[in-house]
Structure 1
Amino acid sequence: MKLQHHLGGIENLGPVNLETRVFVEPWEQRIFGIHTAMMAESAHLADALPAYSIKDLPTTFKSDWTWASLRTGAEDMHPFEYFKYRYYEKWLGGIAQFFVDSGYISAPELEKKSAFYRAQPNAALPDRPSAPIAAQINAYLQQGDSGYHEPDRAPRFAAGDKVRIADPEAVDHTRLPGYLRNKTGVVDVVYPGSFSYFVSTGADGIGKPMPVYRIAFDAADIWGSGKSEPNTTIYADLYEAYVQAAN
């Protein structure tokens, strides 16, 4: 979805939220915890760097769940709904829909459980993770997983090259900020190695490992001189699929 990925520069979205707290409400911490536990139990970690013993993990969760999964759920929301809900409310909606779509729980079952806890907010919650799962979560929080790969070809561009950013068709999930589409910048850094993403984005262009660049843009070229502070440079890390030679 072009509209809901990196909203910089879109006008009339209302005042900027200057809240500095990571979690505003206690329930937001639990949503973050659920997402983290899902990441730590994700089936894709069997082939990740570093490797995790997913096959031996005593969990009934057998799906892939990554940051891409979370963002796809948010970007798939109707724009009116997306702008209406708070940050972690979007997380909750995406996670809940994932469990329903994946068959872990039915929509009626989820509604029944939700109604139960709304009526009895002090009721006991499900058991905490078992010791092996808790250890896996702690390991994942410390080590994460990496999309780095040894390169199999040279990058197409070098530092100092003038480039134009592509404008691929809208897909379920993208890593291209909407405000950079069709903009011109200069390659500032070519990162060593190649990098993959959690999922293939199809027509968007992300799939096999590829070079990633840090590209510098004059802020006035993005938002116009009347809406930019002078002498301001915007930097963005972009996959090579989004980078084209400037004409």
Structure 2
Amino acid sequence: MKLQHGLGGLEGLEGFPLDYEKRVFVEDWEKRIFGIHAAMMGLSASLRDSVPGYDLDAVPTTFNTTWTWAHLRSGAEAMHPFEYFKFRYYEKWLGGISAYLVEQGYLTQEELDAATERFREQPQAQLPDRDAEAVDEQVLDYLRRGDTPRRGPATPAFAVGDEVVVRNPPATEHTRLPGYLRGHRGRVERVFEGNYSYFVSTGGDGLGQPMSVYIVRFEPDELWGEETERAAGPLYAELYETYLSAGSTRDGNR
């Protein structure tokens, strides 16, 4: 099954319009959505484990759960496919953030609907004004220092030069595996230092616990067959170990 957020390489999409918009933010409200996401990242409970020194207990906020890029992606990608294709990029972000806040009990759907209706009727209405100096300081500290999903030393099952085959795990609500790579052979070009966690479990997809990550090289003929363009170069993909199985090595052994 192809998921709506993993259509790369799917045939029959020639008639769909392409948008080459290069601006990061097209509307002012998109900047606010990005800011909300950044603030949630800077207050996420996951920072207690990723980087020492974030004093989250000193920040006067009721936000006390984990929010990462994984949650943003999985929330947006859980949207109904028709809704996913209908909305713009930051509208998908807004959908994922809103669903998360309701799911975690920070607000109710009724409160969200009422606020939406209020600002539709009064677009210039003032937003709630709260003393957020300590929150701002924490978010700025996060933006300066960041965090990391790295968890301990690497324990790779594959080495540089190994041939691997991309697995075809069951489709779930979220994946980091491009659909067009499934079932294809590639060769390991690099093994990243350290194991890397993924902050949400994708169930049958295999992501969640820390594991090794690789850069895998795919030859164009392997991926596109007779449709390969002349002088096409190789494709490189960063893939979690759970997405790979052993192929033949350089000397032909398994």
- Give your verdict on TM over 0.5: yes
Q: Contact 1:50 / 1:143 at 8 angstroms: preserved in 2?
A: no
Q: Contact 2:3 / 2:171 at 8 angstroms: preserved in 1?
A: no
Task: Report the counterpart of residue 52 of structure 1 in structure 2.
Answer: 54
Work out whether 1:116 is the aligned partner of 2:118: yes
Q: Deviations over 1:1-54 (max 9, x none)?
A: 851334321241712211100001111001111111111111111111244111
Question: Matched residue of 1:149: which SS?
Answer: coil
4+ long deviations beyond 6 Å: none
Deviation at 1:124, TM superposition (A): 0.7
Task: Report the counterpart of residue 166 of structure 2 in structure 1.
Answer: 165
Q: Distance in 2 between matches of 1:198 and 1:179?
A: 24
Task: Report the counterpart of residue 180 of structure 2 in structure 1.
Answer: 179
Letter in 2 for 1:163: V
**Which deviates the most, 59-68 or 144-153?**
144-153
Q: Distance in 1 between matches of 2:131 and 2:167?
A: 44
Q: Contact 2:154 / 2:193 at 8 angstroms: preserved in 1?
A: no
Question: Matched residue of 1:43: which SS?
Answer: coil
Q: Distance in 2 between matches of 1:159 and 1:152?
A: 14
Task: Report the counterpart of residue 218 of structure 1 in structure 2.
Answer: 219
Task: Report the counterpart of residue 234 of structure 2 in structure 1.
Answer: 233
Question: Matched residue of 2:218: which SS?
Answer: strand
Deviation at 1:105, TM superposition (A): 1.4
Q: How many residues in Structure 1 have an aligned counterpart in Structure 2?
A: 246
Q: Deviations over 1:164-198 (max 9, x none)?
A: 00111122322211111111111111112211122
Work out whether 1:132 is the aligned partner of 2:134: yes
Q: Contact 2:215 / 2:236 at 8 angstroms: preserved in 1?
A: yes
Q: Distance in 2 between matches of 1:201 and 1:112?
A: 33
Letter in 2 for 1:127: D
Deviation at 1:92, TM superposition (A): 0.8
CA shift in 2, pair 1:174/1:59, >3 Å: same
Task: Report the counterpart of residue 4 of structure 1 in structure 2.
Answer: 4
Task: Report the counterpart of residue 200 of structure 1 in structure 2.
Answer: 201
Work out whether 1:36 is the aligned partner of 2:38: yes
Q: Distance in 1 between matches of 2:133 and 2:196?
A: 33
**Which deviates the most, 65-74 or 195-204?**
195-204
Q: Contact 2:153 / 2:194 at 8 angstroms: preserved in 1?
A: yes
Q: Contact 2:154 / 2:212 at 8 angstroms: preserved in 1?
A: no
Work out whether 1:243 is the aligned partner of 2:244: yes
Question: Matched residue of 1:39: which SS?
Answer: helix
Q: Distance in 2 between matches of 1:152 and 1:161?
A: 16
Deviation at 1:110, TM superposition (A): 1.0
Task: Report the counterpart of residue 95 of structure 1 in structure 2.
Answer: 97
Letter in 2 for 1:235: Y
Unaligned runs of 5+ residues in structure 2 are: 249-254
Letter in 2 for 1:4: Q
Letter in 2 for 1:76: A
Question: Matched residue of 1:123: which SS?
Answer: coil
Q: Distance in 2 between matches of 1:75 and 1:227?
A: 30
Deviation at 1:129, TM superposition (A): 6.0
Deviation at 1:236, TM superposition (A): 0.6
RMSD of aligned alpha carbons: 1.9
Task: Report the counterpart of residue 147 of structure 2 in structure 1.
Answer: 145
Identical pairs, percent: 52
**Which deviates the most, 161-170 or 190-199?**
190-199
